[in-house]
Copies of this chain bind each other. A is one copy, B any other.
Amino acid sequence: MTDASYPVSPRNRAKRRHDRAQYDHEAVHAVLDAGFLCHVAYVIDGQPYCTPTIHWREGDMLYWHGSSASRMLRNQKGGTPVCVTVSHLDGLVLARSGFNHSANYRSAMCFGTAQMVDDPAEKMQQLHAVTDRFFPNRARSLRAITPQEAKATMVIKMRIEEASAKVRDAGVGDEDEDLGLPIWAGVIPVETVIRAATDSPHLPAGVTRPAELDLYAPGSRLDVALLAAQKLYQPE
């Protein structure tokens, strides 16, 4: 763990609620690593698109796959600007006034240039990473990736040039003069949790869920499990 920070520019500097903003790697990565889905914003012919997809991280490199930026990237060999955001909702905050209603959340917004991973060895490494980052040591236990499958999968990478994290984790923020009003106020917490796994109906006799997946035990919080899996995959 270092105390490094992402540089701050007009692009990533928080415009509102800058009291909630953080720019250090640790804060940004903690939000990214706790999420399974990100949203990628990109532009084609002036039209913005916002695509949800699975992301993974190694150091200050973000990776995702699939089609999100594919049409765009096909036409721009040098890469194209994107913004990748990960958000977690942690609570609904009900105040005595509409204005002071809020949410508890964690979000990270990352800016950089998206590029296709073209090198075959680098691509194969990342096709294993997307499994192992979430499910410890799983890639080596799987049927090998075929050349056709590797060809059919697009891997995209982006070095995080600038980023910001925003966190609200607090109670109700009412005005002092509203506290005595006969209105219920409080926080309704929200958690994303894991339920009991369903086996594939085709499992051969004797095949059971490997212990490495105990991270995802029923009732566990998904964000906590994902953070733990990332720390196993890439200790910092």
Contact = CB atoms under 8 A, between A and B. Distances in A.
| Secondary structure call for the A interface | mixed
Contacts of A89: 36-37, 192, 222
A186 B199 CA distance: 4
Interface in A85-100: 85, 87, 89, 92, 94-99
Q: Is the interface on chain A under 10, 10 to 19, 20 to 34, or 35 or more residues?
A: 35 or more
B15 A71 contact: yes
Given A131-B101, A190-B222, A209-B186, A143 B41 contact: no
A195 B200 contact: no
A221 B153 CA distance: 34
Contacts of A70: 15
A187 B197 contact: yes
Nearest to A36: B89
B197 A145 contact: no
Nearest to A52: B87
Nearest to A127: B98
A24 interface: no
Given A16-B66, A52-B87, 11 more contacts: A37-B105, A41-B41, A50-B83, A50-B84, A94-B213, A98-B145, A99-B152, A171-B201, A184-B200, A188-B216, A189-B195
27 contacts: A15-B71, A36-B89, A37-B89, A39-B85, A39-B87, A41-B42, A42-B48, A43-B43, A47-B111, A50-B85, A92-B216, A94-B138, A97-B143, A98-B127, A98-B128, A98-B149, A99-B145, A99-B149, A101-B130, A171-B200, A171-B201, A179-B200, A182-B206, A184-B199, A185-B203, A186-B200, A189-B196
